[in-house]
Structure 1
Amino acid sequence: MEETDARIGTTPRIHLTYYGWEDDWAASEATRDDLADNRLPLVNWEPFDVDFDDIIDGSLDSTIEKQADGAKELGKPFFLDFAAEMNEEEGWGGHDPDLYVAAYRHIHDVFDRRGASNVVWVWAPNVTDSPDAPATMAYYPGDRYVDWTGVDGYNWGTSEPDFEWQSFTDRFRDIYGKLAGKGKPIIIGETGSDETGGSKAEWIQGVIPSLKEEFPLIKALVWFDVDKERHWQINSSPETLAAYRQMAADPYLNL
């Protein structure tokens, strides 16, 4: 975190971290440090190797209750993004929307019963659906169960055949219309751009104009600052870092 802060000249208000089903994310150093430093944790809770039928029938309630108690004990609001990108390659619940929705609702209900009212529930599909999978909104758990809608999406550049360079607006336009219909604030839980196929610096420079003019319900975004699959890092080139520093300092992203 300190290296990123130094690079961009400011401290991001949201910090994304990933945890498995059994991980005690409420007790983790990252979560506690974020809250102590007035950052909002974005906890991405990934149920690898978990049978969603076991969630629904209560077989795993002891784990869920423990997580809920830990969340309540934190005493401050934070984002919880359970089983993100369910409509794409993660395929949580086997691409069965009814199973996914029932599991999500069950976890939410357990947290409610345990009094974990400080949890801000995020529902974040991928920007595109897997081929032959149900459409995005089939997985929506319902207005009572979602505080913020979200989305994960990247500009993958042209490093592979049949990949096209996409602007920030192009990447998010279609799904924005679907999410905006719910009238809830929207968070981009993961985003980034490759360097290959266009100007990553210009891509970044287009983010805030797009948010203002095209996507007013998007109230937060998280950049995936990791060298994984593509050169997503904010310092993948000097021009990219300069553009990112300018974007990060913009008052629109620091309200």
Structure 2
Amino acid sequence: MSEAPLLPASGAYLGVYYGDGSVSDTDAAIGRTPRLHLTYFGWEDPWATDDVLGEDLDRGQISLVNWEPFGVDFADIVAGEYDDMLAQRGREVARLKEPIFLDFAAEMNEEEGWGGHDPELYVAAYRHIHDIVSASDGGNVVWVWAPNNVDSEGAPAALEYYPGDEYVDWTGIDGYNWGTTEPGFDWQSVESVFADMYDDLHTLGKPIIIGETASSEDGGSKAEWIRSIAPTLRDRFPDIKALVWFDVEKERDWRIRSSPEALAAFRELAADPQFD
């Protein structure tokens, strides 16, 4: 694996998207403050300031910004229509006291379909954003490229969207155990959720972040699924250097506190020496 910025000293970072209660309540429930804090921002949101991300630093966390370009024509990005805004983000992020992870247009190979499932356009837009922001960011952006764990039917394969080694610091995977709530969904182990995409990304030689994950309660033991995460990373997925739990009730009950058993398992996970 190539050297990359923000690598943990050992093991992997643990992260959370706080969608179920306050930061302080969640941290108290799991028994620690996770090292990564995932947040979501729209295309023109002013995310790159201490006012927005400073609280993460105060808590000793690294910010993971998921930048979502809803409603944006990627051809306009490539044509330079947003260059002033992008340069401004670079100048703002340069003033941050510590580097942050930036995950732009994640899950491009799945239903999000950023850029219209056009890999050439997606790559051109990603590279353009990278070049404009990086020209003034002082090295404070660590660039993440994170496809979904499965490709949409009929869509190009994830690696066709890869912007290139010089544009990506960390690769990533978003993937969930959807359980058996709906027809067509099966209970999946941690290994089966991530194995195929992990093996593809391993060939790129970059550290890997699980940018979003969680498990349903339906169809198996969510608590045992959580307990299996740390040993699976150690034994099967050594390139995974960060994992972020999507703590919210949305398509499924992904919450850490969906049951007392799930919470107890997550407290064990948070205390596991695998996780910084």
Q: 2:112 aligns with which of 77, 81, 90?
A: 90
- 2:6 aligned partner: none
Residue 42 in structure 1 maps to residue 64 in structure 2 = yes
- 1:4 aligned partner: 26
Rate the CA distance shift 1:242–1:30 in 2: closer, same or farther, 3 A.
Answer: farther
Unaligned ranges ≥5, structure 1: none
TM-superposed deviation, 1:202:
0.6
Question: Aligned residues: percent identity?
Answer: 62
After TM superposition, list the pairs within 5 Å mapping 1:50-65 onto structure 2.
50-65=72-87
Q: Which moved more, 1:106-115 or 1:23-32?
A: 23-32
Residue 235 in structure 1 maps to residue 257 in structure 2 = yes
Pick the structure with more helix per residue. Answer: 1
CA contact (8 A) 1:65 1:110 kept: yes
RMSD: 1.0
After TM superposition, list the pairs within 5 Å mapping 1:68-147 onto structure 2.
68-147=90-169
Rate the CA distance shift 1:6–1:247 in 2: closer, same or farther, 3 A.
Answer: same
- 1:203 aligned partner: 225
Q: 1:177 aligns with which of 195, 199, 219?
A: 199
Q: Secondary structure at the match of 1:232?
A: coil
| Distance in 2, Cα, partners of 1:210 & 1:129 | 23
TM-superposed deviation, 1:29:
4.1
Residue 189 in structure 1 maps to residue 211 in structure 2 = yes
CA contact (8 A) 1:26 1:32 kept: no
- 2:16 aligned partner: none
| Distance in 2, Cα, partners of 1:56 & 1:75 | 30
Rate the CA distance shift 1:3–1:29 in 2: closer, same or farther, 3 A.
Answer: farther
Unaligned ranges ≥5, structure 2: 1-22
TM-superposed deviation, 1:112:
2.1
CA contact (8 A) 2:37 2:63 kept: yes
| Distance in 1, Cα, partners of 2:224 & 2:171 | 27
Q: Give the AA of the match of 1:212.
A: R
TM-superposed deviation, 1:190:
0.3
| Distance in 2, Cα, partners of 1:229 & 1:28 | 32
Q: Secondary structure at the match of 2:256?
A: coil
After TM superposition, list the pairs within 5 Å mapping 1:160-171 onto structure 2.
160-171=182-193
Rate the CA distance shift 1:16–1:115 in 2: closer, same or farther, 3 A.
Answer: closer
TM-superposed deviation, 1:35:
1.7
Give me the TM-score of the superposition, normalised by structure 2. Answer: 0.90
TM-superposed deviation, 1:36:
2.3
Which ranges of 4 or more aligned residues in structure 1 deviate by more than 4 Å? Answer: none
Q: Secondary structure at the match of 1:31?
A: helix
TM-superposed deviation, 1:57:
1.2
C-alpha distance after superposition, 1:156-208 (max 9, x if no partner) = 00000011000101100100001111111100000000000000001011101
The number of aligned residues is 254
- 1:15 aligned partner: 37
| Distance in 2, Cα, partners of 1:46 & 1:29 | 20
| Distance in 2, Cα, partners of 1:250 & 1:46 | 32
TM-superposed deviation, 1:37:
2.1
Q: Secondary structure at the match of 1:25?
A: coil
| Distance in 2, Cα, partners of 1:222 & 1:130 | 22
- 2:54 aligned partner: 32
Q: Which moved more, 1:111-120 or 1:9-18?
A: 111-120
TM-superposed deviation, 1:76:
1.2
| Distance in 2, Cα, partners of 1:44 & 1:146 | 15
